[in-house]
């Protein structure tokens, strides 16, 4: 049939010229028909062009600002299907597979393995047909020339550390040369510098910036225009040459001490950077700490009974904390804006787990409602996923109360740092034999552990925390309710 070849061409591509290969052209010689027909494909050619889609760096969590490429599951030239895993991305808490939303060919990889990119940046290009692969690769080359500018500050943040090792003022003068590497790509100037350039008729593209990463400052424009140059040279020369080196030399040595021989600088991983950010945020919260000794003889006996069934001590402590929080909801509350606090409807116990290269807190959701054995099974699954860096965002960011247990390491007491957005965190030490005296003055030996709780004093007060710890101690010392 005459229509079948036309249909096959339209499904393959609209980018080619339809008028030269249409089978209808010979059978319809009417000029009105041909002109009317030619106008429609031209409009459709503008809308249906070769499709080169970008694979973006996804936001895998609410706190993620950039991601690191762990590995590319697919290679350039591989044919992809919708929903197929393409790349593994390391977020601030976990490694996650990124899937493609379209069918096509992985034409080019923009961000290689081990490199980082901000959320929303293109990390790869997906072509629709073989003919578009070359075009996508050309596009990737132009994109890759701009991408190192975003990743190079991280690398250059490490390289400036060796110059202080010389402890001489000469490298400090030589350092304005690296910003020149940024200027050829794009002229970056402050708004006031641009205004001065217009006033003094200075070509801002020819000005070499002395600001961070080559940014052009108003002083640079004035120097290019020949204004206030004597002041600059006078201000610049006495500072490093005369009085500045003896006194400021002590300050740089304190803030950026020279590296010792054989030392290496290791940048933070994505997870370590997230932990550092959270720890800095916690400094803005007014906290207080309360310690409470608890007898653990009954808890230890219960643990010996349920241990063969797969129940861990962490699960027992999490269950006890959840039952105590149910009676003291203010300790399970959270304050995020400093103006109000929220009573959380769920009791989600986050438990700190040390993994290779960082720290993460998997969350036992609704821990007060789960059976002890189901809670233990859930905890084992979370630990396995955490160590494999496969936790989903809701499995590590939904905690309302945190438990940190170092008792298995023999630590008898420690203080924990309050995570942002939570009301309290409990630090549990090891249970050790302790000599105690009863009301009649008789001595005996009992196992006791010291529990320290750090709380947000904006919402939890001393009496609230003391009442919570008293309830928690009763549950631990009479743990029958944990198995109900």
Identify whether 326 is part of a domain.
yes
Q: What are phi and psi of 270, to 5 degrees?
A: -60, -40
Q: With bands split at pLDDT 50, 70 and 90, how would you rate the model's confidence at 243?
A: very low
Q: What is the pLDDT of residue 324?
A: 97
Q: Is the pLDDT of residue 60 over 50?
A: yes
* Higher local confidence (pLDDT), 251 or 65: 65
* Residue whose C-alpha is closest to residue 273's, from 137, 116, 427, 145: 116
Q: With bands split at pLDDT 50, 70 and 90, how would you rate the model's confidence at 62?
A: low
Which alpha helices (H) appear in 175-312, and where do they start and end?
A: 191-199, 218-224, 229-236, 238-241, 250-255, 270-282, 297-306
Contact assessment for residue 108 and residue 138, using Cβ atoms and an 8 Å cutoff: no
Q: pLDDT by residue (tens digit) across 81-137?
A: 887 888 888 776 667 778 888 788 887 888 888 888 888 888 888 887 777 777 777
Average pLDDT, integer, range 169-194: 50
Same domain flag for 290 and 355: yes
Same domain flag for 459 and 338: yes
E-assigned strands of 73-200?
A: 79-80, 85-90, 95-99, 104-109, 116-118, 122-127
Q: What is the pLDDT of residue 402?
A: 96
The residue from 203, 223, 243 where one domain ends is 223
Identify whether 271 is part of a domain.
no
The residue from 144, 160, 179 where one domain ends is 144
Domain harbouring 212, CATH code? 4.10.320.10
Q: With bands split at pLDDT 50, 70 and 90, how would you rate the model's confidence at 265?
A: confident
Same domain flag for 285 and 417: yes
Q: What is the pLDDT of residue 6?
A: 41
Identify whether 34 is part of a domain.
no
Same domain flag for 415 and 285: yes
Distance CA 211, CA 200 (A): 20
DSSP 3-state of 449:
strand
Q: What is the pLDDT of residue 339?
A: 86
Average pLDDT, integer, range 319-337: 94
Contact assessment for residue 87 and residue 113, using Cβ atoms and an 8 Å cutoff: no
Q: What is the pLDDT of residue 44?
A: 45
16 exposed, middle or buried (CB, 10 Å; 0-12, 13-18, 19+)?
Answer: exposed
Contact assessment for residue 317 and residue 474, using Cβ atoms and an 8 Å cutoff: no
Same domain flag for 326 and 213: no
Dihedral sign from CA coordinates of 21, 22, 25, 31: negative
Percentage of the chain beyond pLDDT 90 is 33
Q: With bands split at pLDDT 50, 70 and 90, how would you rate the model's confidence at 233?
A: very low
Domain harbouring 290, CATH code? 3.30.559.10
Identify whether 334 is part of a domain.
yes
Same domain flag for 318 and 407: yes
Same domain flag for 308 and 451: yes
Q: What is the pLDDT of residue 232?
A: 40
Same domain flag for 451 and 339: yes
Q: Is the pLDDT of residue 38 over 80?
A: no
Rg (CA), the chain: 32
Identify whether 243 is part of a domain.
no
Same domain flag for 120 and 198: no
Contacts of 284 (CB under 8 A, 6+ apart): none
**CA dist 362 → 66, 384, 396, 416 (Å):** 22, 10, 5, 16
Taking the CB of residue 201, how many other CB atoms lie within 10 A of it?
7
- Identify the helix (H) or strand (E) that includes residue 3: helix 3-12
* Higher local confidence (pLDDT), 240 or 328: 328
Q: With bands split at pLDDT 50, 70 and 90, how would you rate the model's confidence at 187?
A: low
Contact assessment for residue 391 and residue 413, using Cβ atoms and an 8 Å cutoff: no
Q: What is the pLDDT of residue 85?
A: 82
Domain harbouring 67, CATH code? 2.40.50.100
Taking the CB of residue 9, how many other CB atoms lie within 10 A of it?
15
Same domain flag for 352 and 407: yes
Same domain flag for 126 and 200: no
Identify whether 35 is part of a domain.
no
The residue from 111, 127, 144 where one domain ends is 144
Query: What average pLDDT does the structure give for the chain?
Result: 75
Q: Is the pLDDT of residue 416 over 60?
A: yes
Q: Is the pLDDT of residue 178 over 80?
A: no
Beta bridge partners of 404: 427
Average pLDDT, integer, range 199-211: 79
Q: Which two tokens stand for residue 227?
A: 């204004």
* Higher local confidence (pLDDT), 29 or 309: 309
Distance CA 484, CA 480 (A): 7
Same domain flag for 429 and 316: yes
What's the structural domain count of the chain? Answer: 3
Contacts of 65 (CB under 8 A, 6+ apart): 118, 119
Q: What is the pLDDT of residue 313?
A: 92
Q: What is the pLDDT of residue 292?
A: 95
Contacts of 100 (CB under 8 A, 6+ apart): 55, 80, 81, 82, 83, 84, 86, 126
Domain encompassing residue 403: 279-482
Instruction: Please give the full DSSP string across 408-444, using - where no structure is assigned.
Output: GGT------PPPTT-SEEEEE---EEEEEE-TTS-EE
Identify whether 408 is part of a domain.
yes
Q: Active site residue: 200, 328, 394, 457, which one?
A: 457
Distance CA 467, CA 465 (A): 5
Contact assessment for residue 270 and residue 357, using Cβ atoms and an 8 Å cutoff: no
Q: What is the pLDDT of residue 201?
A: 78
Distance CA 484, CA 482 (A): 6
Distance CA 386, CA 393 (A): 11
Distance CA 90, CA 94 (A): 6
Q: What is the pLDDT of residue 331?
A: 96
The DSSP symbol for 484 reads: -
Helix 462-477, helix 297-306: angle, nearest 10: 50
Identify whether 7 is part of a domain.
no
242 exposed, middle or buried (CB, 10 Å; 0-12, 13-18, 19+)?
Answer: exposed
Catalytic, 328? Answer no
Q: What is the pLDDT of residue 390?
A: 84
Distance CA 424, CA 416 (A): 10
Q: Which two tokens stand for residue 193?
A: 């510098």
Contact assessment for residue 465 and residue 332, using Cβ atoms and an 8 Å cutoff: no
Q: With bands split at pLDDT 50, 70 and 90, how would you rate the model's confidence at 1?
A: very low
Q: Is the pLDDT of residue 276 over 50?
A: yes
Q: pLDDT by residue (tens digit) across 422-433?
A: 999 999 999 999
Q: Is the pLDDT of residue 308 over 80?
A: yes
């Amino acid at each position: 049939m005459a229509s079948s070849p036309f249909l096959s061409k339209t499904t393959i591509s609209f980018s080619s010229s339809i008028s030269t290969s249409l089978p209808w052209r010979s059978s319809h010689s009417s000029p009105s028909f041909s002109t009317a027909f030619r106008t429609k494909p031209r409009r459709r050619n503008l809308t249906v062009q070769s499709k080169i889609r970008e694979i973006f760096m996804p936001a895998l969590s609410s706190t993620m600002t950039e991601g690191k490429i762990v590995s590319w599951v697919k290679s350039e030239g591989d044919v992809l299907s919708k929903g197929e895993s393409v790349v593994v991305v390391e977020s601030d808490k976990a490694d996650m597979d990124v899937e493609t939303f379209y069918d096509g060919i992985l034409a080019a990889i923009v961000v290689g393995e081990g490199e980082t990119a901000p959320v929303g940046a293109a990390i790869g290009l997906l072509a629709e047909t073989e003919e578009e692969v070359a075009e996508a690769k050309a596009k990737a080359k132009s994109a890759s020339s701009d991408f190192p500018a975003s990743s190079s500050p991280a690398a250059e943040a490490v390289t400036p550390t060796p110059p202080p090792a010389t402890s001489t003022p000469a490298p400090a003068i030589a350092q304005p040369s690296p910003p020149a590497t940024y200027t050829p790509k794009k002229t970056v100037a402050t708004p006031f510098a641009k205004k001065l350039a217009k006033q003094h008729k200075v070509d801002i593209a020819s000005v070499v910036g002395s600001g961070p990463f080559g940014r052009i400052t108003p002083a640079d424009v004035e120097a290019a225009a020949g204004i206030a140059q004597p002041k600059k040279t006078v201000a610049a020369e006495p500072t490093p040459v005369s009085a500045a080196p003896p006194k400021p030399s002590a300050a740089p040595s304190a803030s950026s001490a020279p590296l010792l021989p054989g030392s290496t600088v290791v940048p933070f991983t994505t997870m370590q950077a997230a932990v550092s950010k959270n720890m800095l945020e916690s400094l803005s919260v007014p906290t207080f700490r309360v310690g409470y000794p608890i007898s653990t003889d009954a808890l230890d006996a219960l643990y010996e009974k349920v241990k063969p069934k797969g129940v861990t001590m962490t699960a027992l402590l999490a269950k006890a904390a959840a039952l105590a929080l149910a009676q003291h909801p203010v300790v399970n509350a959270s304050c995020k804006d400093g103006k109000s606090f929220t009573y959380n409807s769920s009791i989600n116990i986050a438990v700190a787990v040390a993994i290779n290269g960082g720290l993460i807190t998997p969350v036992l959701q609704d821990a007060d409602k789960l059976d002890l054995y189901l809670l233990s099974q859930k905890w084992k699954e979370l630990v396995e996923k955490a160590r494999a860096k496969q936790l989903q965002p809701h499995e590590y960011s939904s905690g309302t109360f945190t438990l940190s247990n170092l008792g298995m390491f023999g630590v008898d007491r420690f203080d924990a740092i309050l995570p942002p957005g939570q009301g309290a965190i409990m630090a549990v030490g090891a249970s050790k034999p302790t000599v105690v005296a009863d009301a009649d003055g008789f001595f005996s030996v009992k196992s006791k552990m010291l529990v320290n709780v750090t709380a947000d004093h904006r919402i939890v007060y001393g009496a609230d925390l003391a009442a919570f710890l008293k309830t928690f101690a009763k549950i631990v010392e009479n743990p029958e309710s944990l198995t109900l």
